[in-house]
Amino acid sequence: MGFFTLRHKKLAKKYSLSELKDGYRYSENELKEAAENGDIKAFKRAMKVHGNFEYAMLYKNTPEYNKRRK
């Protein structure tokens, strides 16, 4: 599957689903703070982190991940 990058795959392998969810929630809070402050650089940085956690969680649900895990 060419949709997921190596970074997403490594995050999925390294962290459990609950740890990924915690990181996702933390990055969501960072996004809210950056939006409230109007800091575009912080917002972009938080958005990258947020997206990486989101795609890592999605990758954990793919057949490719489950096949490699065995």
pLDDT at 3: 87
pLDDT digits (tens, 9 = 90+) for 15-69: 999 999 999 999 999 999 999 999 999 999 999 999 999 999 999 989 888 787 6
**Helices and strands per DSSP (H, E), number in the chain:** 4, 0
How far, CA to CA in Å, does 62 sit from each of 26, 54, 56, 57, 65? 24, 13, 10, 10, 5
User: 60, 17 in Cβ contact below 8 A?
Assistant: yes
Residue 33 neighbours by CB under 8 Å, 6+ apart = 42
pLDDT higher at 9 or 1: 9
pLDDT at 12: 94
